[in-house]
Amino acid sequence: MLAVGLVTVALVLPGPVPALGATATPAAASATAITGAASHVPRTVVSLTFDDGDADQMAAARVLHRYRLPATFYIITGAVGTPGYVTRSDLHQLAADGNEIGGHTVSHLRLTALSTAEARRQVCTGRSILARWGYPAGSFAYPGGADSPRTQSIIRSCGYSSARGVVGLRAPGCPGCSLAETIPPANPLTLRTAGEVDSSWTLRDLEHTVTAAERDGGWLPLVFHHVCAGRRCGGLAVRATMLDTFARWLAQRQRQGTAVRTVGQVIGGPVVGRPVRSTPHVAAARPHRIVNPSVESVAASGAVSASLETTSAAPARTPQCWMQGGYGHNTARWQRARDSHAGGWAERLTITSYHSGDAKLLPQFDLGECSLPVRPGRSYTLGAWYQSTARTQYSAYYRTWSGRWVYWTSSPYFPASQGWAQARWATPPAPAGASGVSFGLALFSKGSLTTDTYSFAATPPDAARRIAGWVLLSVLAAAGLAAAGRAVRRRRRPANPVPVEGKRSTSSSSSR
């Protein structure tokens, strides 16, 4: 089964939040104490951080709100409102309850695997979108925990005050690490954490991590992903019941001088020397051809899969700038194939069991390094060579201003072909608001499909006019048929509805 990922602005900050790190005075501490009015500076501070904006985190937010514990939610803007993720209205609720909204890029790609230009777009544009939604984010978390000196300078230049990783403090994988981060942290752009809380953590592990940090005091950021209930608990999830018990216990630790604060409350603005007031404008990607069109080179993918914020790079098997896409219930296998149309390699997709949906190779859903910048209203001609045991068709997606990828349209079918055949198709005009496009030849039955030598170009204007004419004629013809159909249905029972190909849902994704 697969499903892939996925997956701009003046900024005005509200009044500065007192910073524990910068001004650790009793007044500063109590001014932001949502955990209850602490009358002294907390010796130990715990930050509850949630990555990705998974929809199930709203259950955690309700639990924490009950105990008046604020949390930091790191949001992937391009995922907001897609299946499995929080909505704009959820974000509003989180902020209204005193939680912090932080940035986690637009497309949740590993920043270290991207060009500097794309990494800047991912970080700065994500922050601008949050600001436009009303959340002046000062805190950032690295997708996949992947940071480097280069990414840290990008984070700073985009105006963030802090950036959180996923390792560095004492955890099962790091027995010799420190028990807590310092306040202020030695490097706010690589905040350390005690690993990631997953399903292997017990309540005792959580409590022990806190009491260990209390020994010398300091800051303990905890990293959570999914929140689950019942039998449906994945590997990177914490049970809502366990979180409830932990939250109740944690709220009572204030008596021991342990407080719960958002990351922004601990860091504050002045820690990095200047208040964060704006996000620099970052230019959109220029139009370009398909990158790595003959799928010759492979590279560690920027994609962070299955919600794993692991620090190890993804295996370098997927062609550089491409991603394995699809949705629904089917089992897809991907292979590098030697029987290529051009160059040394092609990509073979085999579906071994099929119930619904499709699978396809697509240019990476990003902000323009791999996906294709487009102009609304223009038609584009898609091309690829293929060999297939089953029929195929193009499925195309476009990117909205907030980085969300939306199903756009599908081509007519191309027949199964034993030898190499070319599939060429001119799209209808790109929809209003589309800034980027990604497309792939889809397999939607058992069988295999090998593809190579992709192309993408703006359709010449006269051809585009003809296509627009055909589209208009088809719409008029369909309207005429529909009117005739309604007249017929008045006299007899309707036939069983036939699903319309190409009206499938988007392949927005399961996994970050």
Q: Helix or strand or coil: residue 446?
A: coil
Q: Which stretch binds Zn ion (CB under 5 A): 86-94, 135-143, 208-216, 413-421?
A: 135-143
Nearer to Zn ion, 64 or 308 (CB): 308
Q: Which stretch binds Zn ion (CB under 5 A): 25-33, 136-144, 410-418, 464-472?
A: 136-144
Nearer to Zn ion, 234 or 377 (CB): 234
Q: What spatial distance separates the first Cα and last Cα of the chain, rounded to whole Å?
A: 16
Q: Which stretch binds Zn ion (CB under 5 A): 9-17, 50-58, 328-336, 419-427?
A: 50-58
Contacts of 105 (CB under 8 A, 6+ apart): 76, 77, 111, 122, 123, 126, 143
Minimum distance between the CB of residue 47 and Zn ion, rounded to whole angstroms?
Answer: 16
Q: Which stretch binds Zn ion (CB under 5 A): 10-18, 44-52, 237-245, 322-330?
A: 44-52
Minimum distance between the CB of residue 104 and Zn ion, rounded to whole angstroms?
Answer: 6
User: In the set 5, 22, 48, 51, which binds Zn ion (CB under 5 A)?
Assistant: 51
Residue number closest to Zn ion, CB atom: 51
If you count them, how many residues does the chain have?
Answer: 512
Q: Helix or strand or coil: residue 422?
A: strand
Specify the DSSP class assigned to residue 421.
E
Specify the DSSP class assigned to residue 431.
P
Nearer to Zn ion, 51 or 452 (CB): 51
> What would the x/- binding string for Zn ion be over residues 141 to 180, using CB under 5 A?
--x-------------------------------------
Q: Which residue has the tokens 């991603």?
A: 323
Q: Which stretch binds Zn ion (CB under 5 A): 7-15, 47-55, 64-72, 312-320?
A: 47-55
> What would the x/- binding string for Zn ion be over residues 1 to 40, using CB under 5 A?
----------------------------------------
Q: Which stretch binds Zn ion (CB under 5 A): 18-26, 51-59, 112-120, 490-498?
A: 51-59
The site for Zn ion, by CB under 5 A, has a size of 3
Minimum distance between the CB of residue 76 and Zn ion, rounded to whole angstroms?
Answer: 7
Q: Which of 454, 461, 190, 477 is nearest to 340 (CA)?
A: 454
φ, ψ dihedrals at 387, nearest 5°: -125, 135
Nearer to Zn ion, 226 or 360 (CB): 226
196 binds Zn ion (CB under 5 A): no
Axis crossing angle, helix 203-216 with helix 240-252, rounded to the nearest 10: 30
- Do residues 74 and 49 make contact, with C-beta atoms less than 8 angstroms apart? yes
φ, ψ dihedrals at 458, nearest 5°: -60, 135
Q: Which of 439, 311, 447, 450 is nearest to 380 (CA)?
A: 439
90 binds Zn ion (CB under 5 A): no
- 458 CB burial (10 A radius; 0-12, 13-18, 19+): middle
Nearer to Zn ion, 5 or 138 (CB): 5
Rounded Cα distance between 326 and 361, Å, is: 8
Element containing residue 443 per DSSP (H, E): strand 436-443
> What would the x/- binding string for Zn ion be over residues 319 to 348, using CB under 5 A?
------------------------------
Which token pair is 368? 């323009």
Which token pair is 462? 């006269």
Q: Which stretch binds Zn ion (CB under 5 A): 28-36, 48-56, 149-157, 182-190?
A: 48-56
Rounded Cα distance between 297 and 322, Å, is: 10
Minimum distance between the CB of residue 196 and Zn ion, rounded to whole angstroms?
Answer: 10
Nearer to Zn ion, 143 or 184 (CB): 143
52 binds Zn ion (CB under 5 A): yes
For Zn ion, the binding residues (CB under 5 A) are 51-52, 143
